């Protein structure tokens, strides 16, 4: 086996195993383990609570971790970027529908533009701020906001997750026929938590891969 393969394959193996575990865990958590009582029946999936894990979002932070260097410093950078990016998106969602609600998009566009400027301008504060990670975190919130019904801006977009009966009557306009309709505040929180899960997956994959990667000859000396 070549030196390049010896360096890459252990990481690939660890990433593959962790990706499997994360996918199995996050989907079961969201659609089976933590669902509204009475909605998870045999041969089907349940209605997720307002808090749920977003499978693909963790992969965004995981990839950003390696883009930032794949080490302890990268972990800190992406955690900070996730907080800054998602909080900016949280404020943007609130101001967007206060400025111009359905069906006018200009309110969303206005505040996205303003906060895009702000997120880049923070670079003035120093190299600790990783704008290449902040932008994807910012976008991740909007991706989930759109997928789950654009609550706030779109009337009834978030549905009602108070109970199974309430959801049946007011299931919202999100994906899967409203199954994952989510209020805008929970869109932010779910995205932030899942991004942080991706940061953890990143640092764990790097550490475990380092442990199992064969050392070059003479490195032990």
Element (H, E) at 132: helix 131-147
Per-residue pLDDT tens digits for 129-159: 999 999 999 999 999 999 999 999 999 999 9
Name every residue whose Cβ is closer than 8 Å to that of residue 183 and which is 6 or more positions away in sequence: 50, 151, 152, 158, 159, 161
pLDDT of residue 2: 78
In the prediction, which pLDDT does 221 show?
A: 46
DSSP secondary structure letter of residue 53: -
**What pLDDT is attached to residue 1?**
59
pLDDT of residue 220: 53
pTM of the model: 0.94
| More confident: 201 or 127 | 201
* pLDDT tens-digit map of 4-36: 888 899 999 999 999 999 999 999 999 999 999
Q: What is the rounded (10 degree) CA torsion for 150, 192, 34, 153?
A: -10
- 130 and 78 in contact (C-beta within 8 Å)? yes
What is the C-alpha to C-alpha distance for residues 176 and 148, in angstroms, rounded to an integer?
9
The percentage of the chain sitting over the pLDDT mark of 90, rounded to a whole number, equals: 84
pLDDT in tens, 67-126: 999 999 999 999 999 999 999 999 999 999 999 999 999 999 999 999 999 999 999 999
Segment 175-192, tens digit of pLDDT:
999 999 999 999 999 999
Mean pLDDT score of the chain, rounded to an integer? 94
In sequence order, what are the beta bridge partners of 154? 151
**CA-CA distance, 165 to 32, in Å (whole number)?**
18
Q: Which residue has the tokens 């949280």?
A: 90
Beta strands in 41-92 (DSSP E): none
Sign, CA dihedral 30-36-37-38, equals negative
- Quick one: pLDDT at residue 201? 98
């Amino acid at each position: 086996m070549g030196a390049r393969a010896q360096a890459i394959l252990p990481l690939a193996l660890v990433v593959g195993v962790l990706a499997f575990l994360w996918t199995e865990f996050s989907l079961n958590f969201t659609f089976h383990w933590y669902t509204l009582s009475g909605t998870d029946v045999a041969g089907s999936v349940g209605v997720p609570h307002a808090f749920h894990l977003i499978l693909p979002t963790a992969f965004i932070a995981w990839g950003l971790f390696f883009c930032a260097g794949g080490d302890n410093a990268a972990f800190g950078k992406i955690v900070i970027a996730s907080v800054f990016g998602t909080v900016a998106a949280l404020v943007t969602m609130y101001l967007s529908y206060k400025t111009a609600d359905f069906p006018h998009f200009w309110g969303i566009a206005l505040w996205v533009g303003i906060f895009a400027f702000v997120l880049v301008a923070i670079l003035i504060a120093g190299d600790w701020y990783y704008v290449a990670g902040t932008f994807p975190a910012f976008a991740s919130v909007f991706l989930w906001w759109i997928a789950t019904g654009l609550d706030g801006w779109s009337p009834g977009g978030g549905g009602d997750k108070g109970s199974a009966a309430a959801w049946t009557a007011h299931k919202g306009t999100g994906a899967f026929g409203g199954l994952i309709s989510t209020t805008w505040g929970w869109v932010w929180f779910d995205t932030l938590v899942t991004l942080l899960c991706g940061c953890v997956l990143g640092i764990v994959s790097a550490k475990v891969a380092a442990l199992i990667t064969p050392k070059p000859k003479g490195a032990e000396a």
